[in-house]
């Protein structure tokens, strides 16, 4: 009997849900300039609006990961989609800075459930040899959502205003919630379409729970130098990457002189390239892992891709042509995204049976950078009115992350 391929449909379903997640997350960057104009926000206040989401997102990662490890991802993700879609729509009803901050915080808290829950799901569904590719496809869904959002959001904004943008994107969550709950099961053994051959294939690629090492204690995890290196790398590369999901459209309009529609196209380019980058990175990491030591494969992919990102961003900063600069800067985002499949697979390996929680902790570190980066850029603009100062700092921090990746050992658990 040939194995069924339900696990592949689980990856595609996670990709689809992540696509919806990112459309809801990214639309604020297009609406941001008009929101700021209507409310009279300063750059630092608008930076705080962007950052509040990431603060909540960071704080929610590890708790959601612990819950997913214990209870499974089916109901957690179902309820999370319902909640974040509701708060996306409620963003249109904001009437002041405090109301907007509260809505964005709650929105971020609920979106925080997705990535660690999917990590916990993949730990049960995806053999180790296929995980980098699976994470690459999952993350590519988010990048595709980010790629299509600017053009759609700009069109809605031009026709109906910024509040309509959030109503339109909120409506997409219902379909994702229903499809997820209908098809997903917490383990392959529970799914009616998984045949015995596929179940045997999955179980052969994953240590049976009875034979797996004990769940690491948090005190042991937090003593792991490998874990701390992973968290530092996650912070460093995300400090750069969050520029694209928050301030990049504004940068293209205000610093490079592009019109709204043209800037929206270029603002979507990092995400469009990211679709292919995450897929390429995952497939490349798994392919290299079959030919050389997996640690060497992940280290090579991570160091080269992150270092390339810093070089490309530096080229974009000093490029005089606005459109070529936008392409170079989008290519820097491509470099960061190639790295991500190796990072998520490493988190599961380091965490062992607490893989969902460690993946959540890694994503929390990433989104600490997501909180710091937009607010810091707003402060830099208000204090010095210098975009390049921030971008040079971001390139340097990302280069440091490339170096620190050498100290992450994804083959050994943190305990």
Contact of 50 with 32, CB cutoff 8 Å: yes
Indicate the pLDDT class of residue 118, thresholds 50, 70 and 90: very high
Query: Which pLDDT value is given to residue 136?
Result: 87
At residue 410, does pLDDT exceed 50? no
- Listed as own residue / partner, the contacts of 32-38 with beta carbons closer than 8 Å and 24 or more positions apart are 32/246, 32/249, 32/250, 33/249, 33/250, 33/253, 34/157, 34/161, 34/162, 35/100, 35/162, 38/162
> What's the rounded Cα separation, in Å, for the pair 45 and 32?
11
Query: Which pLDDT value is given to residue 29?
Result: 86
Contact of 407 with 225, CB cutoff 8 Å: yes
Query: Which pLDDT value is given to residue 414?
Result: 42
> Class assignment of domain 6-407?
mainly alpha
Query: Which pLDDT value is given to residue 415?
Result: 40
Give the tens place of pLDDT for each residue, 70-109.
899 999 999 999 999 999 999 999 999 999 999 999 999 9
**Domain spans of the chain?**
6-407
Give the tens place of pLDDT for each residue, 242-264.
999 889 999 999 999 998 889 88
> What's the rounded Cα separation, in Å, for the pair 34 and 256?
18
3-state secondary structure of 318: coil
Mean pLDDT of the chain: 90
Query: Which pLDDT value is given to residue 264?
Result: 85
Q: How many helices (H) and strands (E) does the chain have?
A: 18, 0
Q: Which residue has the tokens 């963003």?
A: 91
Give the tens place of pLDDT for each residue, 166-201.
999 999 998 899 999 999 999 999 999 999 999 999
Contact of 230 with 343, CB cutoff 8 Å: yes
- Looking from the CA of 10 toward its CB, the CA atoms found within 13 Å total 31
> What's the rounded Cα separation, in Å, for the pair 64 and 41?
33
């Amino acid at each position: 009997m040939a194995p069924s391929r339900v696990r592949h449909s689980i990856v595609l379903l996670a990709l689809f849900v992540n696509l919806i997640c990112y459309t809801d997350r990214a639309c604020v960057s297009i609406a941001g300039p008009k929101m700021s104009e209507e409310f009279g926000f300063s750059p630092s206040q608008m930076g705080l609006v962007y950052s509040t989401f990431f603060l909540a997102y960071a704080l929610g990662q590890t708790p959601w990961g612990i819950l997913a490890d214990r209870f499974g991802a089916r109901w957690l993700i179902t309820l999370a989609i319902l909640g974040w879609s509701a708060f996306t729509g409620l963003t249109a009803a904001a009437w002041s800075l405090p109301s907007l901050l509260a809505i964005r915080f709650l929105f971020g808290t609920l979106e925080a459930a997705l990535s660690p829950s999917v990590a916990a799901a993949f730990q049960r569904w995806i053999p180790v040899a296929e995980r980098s590719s699976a994470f690459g496809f999952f993350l590519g869904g988010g990048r595709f959502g980010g790629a299509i959002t600017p053009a759609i959001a700009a069109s809605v904004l031009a026709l109906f205003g910024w509040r309509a943008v959030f109503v339109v994107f909120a409506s997409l969550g219902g379909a994702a919630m229903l499809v997820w709950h209908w098809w997903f099961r917490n383990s392959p053994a529970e799914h009616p379409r998984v045949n015995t051959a596929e179940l045997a294939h999955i179980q052969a690629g994953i240590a049976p729970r009875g034979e797996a090492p004990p769940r690491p204690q948090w005190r042991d995890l937090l003593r792991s130098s490998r874990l701390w290196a992973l968290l530092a790398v996650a912070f460093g590369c995300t400090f750069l990457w969050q520029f694209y999901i928050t301030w990049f459209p504004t940068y293209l309009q205000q610093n490079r002189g592009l019109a709204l529609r043209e800037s929206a196209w270029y603002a979507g380019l990092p995400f469009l390239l990211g679709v292919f980058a995450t897929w390429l990175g995952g497939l490349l990491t798994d392919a290299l892992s079959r030919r050389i030591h997996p640690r060497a494969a992940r280290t090579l992919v991570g160091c080269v891709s992150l270092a390339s990102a810093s070089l490309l961003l530096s080229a974009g900063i000093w490029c005089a042509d606005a459109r070529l600069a936008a392409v170079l800067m989008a290519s820097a985002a491509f470099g960061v995204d190639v790295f991500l499949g190796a990072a998520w697979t490493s988190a599961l390996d380091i965490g062992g049976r607490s893989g969902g929680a460690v993946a959540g902790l890694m994503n929390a570190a990433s989104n600490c950078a997501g909180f710091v980066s937009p607010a810091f850029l707003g402060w830099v603009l208000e204090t010095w009115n210098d975009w390049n100062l921030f971008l040079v700092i971001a390139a340097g921090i990302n280069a440091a992350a490339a170096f620190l990746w050498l100290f992450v050992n994804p083959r050994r658990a943190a305990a």
